């Protein structure tokens, strides 16, 4: 819903990311005054996570081969 309010969200899909589960997001009210933030030290960036179908559709390229395996995670010491 937030994406739609901001003019985005055209490709809304449920995607699980992270090892063994889904990332859950909540939006909480900021308890600080606007003057508390250092506005000169900010950065804005755009992150888009695409499944293979949307990767091909949006970028016109074949997505990279196989995703990271459990063995790859274990090799880096991740759970």
**Mean pLDDT score of the chain, rounded to an integer?**
76
d(CA 16, CA 69): 15
Q: What is this structure's pTM?
A: 0.37
Q: Where are the alpha helices (DSSP H) in 1-79?
A: 2-5, 52-59, 70-75
* Phi-psi map region of 31: left, alpha, beta (phi>0 left; psi -120 to 50 alpha): alpha
**Average of pLDDT values for 42-59?**
86
In whole angstroms, what is the distance from residue 5 CA to residue 2 CA?
Answer: 5
In this predicted model, which residue has the larger pLDDT, 78 or 35? 35
- Is the pLDDT reported for residue 27 higher than 50? yes
Q: Which residues contact 59 (CB under 8 A, 6 or more apart)?
A: 50
């Amino acid at each position: 819903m937030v994406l739609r309010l901001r003019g985005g969200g055209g490709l809304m899909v449920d995607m699980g990311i992270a090892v063994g589960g889904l990332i859950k997001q909540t939006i909480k009210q900021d308890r600080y005054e606007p003057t508390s933030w250092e506005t000169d030290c900010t950065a804005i960036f755009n992150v888009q996570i695409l499944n293979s179908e949307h990767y091909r559709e949006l970028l016109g390229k074949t997505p990279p081969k196989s995703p990271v395996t459990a063995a790859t995670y274990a090799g880096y010491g991740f759970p």
